[in-house]
Amino acid sequence: MQDIKYCERCCKKISDLNTSDWYSHISIKYCQDCAEIVRKEKTAARVKELRKRKKAKEKEQLEYIKLLEAENKNLRRLFLPTERGDGNEQTEAGTPGLQSAVHML
Ligand SMILES: [Zn+2]
């Protein structure tokens, strides 16, 4: 244990074991200015991570919806052969989506 601690960010002297109590000495890592900056950085990183996860989840759900739509369309073709009138031959396009979705599971 060092008797004198310095800010991990700007190296300013922040605590002296001889003049501050033990608990605050061991818990302190940054000067007041840097503590505020670090706190903001951590919050920003957390928010960023949260947004990233939310986006990934939305993408996954979208893939799943596409998969279901393709499946639904194929089932309609199988069971309701008269419903092929949209002229849109996109059935094959659903297959890569299906495969990547299967990989995600
Ligand atoms: Zn500092």
pLDDT category of residue 1 using cuts at 50, 70 and 90: confident
Direct distance between the N- and C-terminal alpha carbons of the chain, in angstroms, rounded to an integer:
48
Rounded CA separation 6/4 (Å)? 7
Q: What is the pLDDT of residue 82?
A: 75
Q: Give the distance (Å) from ligand 1 centre to CA of residue 18.
A: 20
Residue 14: helix, strand or coil by DSSP? strand
Among candidates 27, 28, 26, 33, which has minimal Cα distance to 10? 33
Q: What is the pLDDT of residues 51-94, one digit of tens each?
A: 999 999 999 999 999 999 999 999 999 988 776 555 555 555 55
Q: Give the distance (Å) from ligand 1 centre to CA of residue 24.
A: 16
Q: What is the pLDDT of residue 102?
A: 56
For the packed helices 32-79 and 94-104, what is the interaxial angle rounded to 10 degrees?
Answer: 130
Residue 50, token pair as written in the block: 């949260």
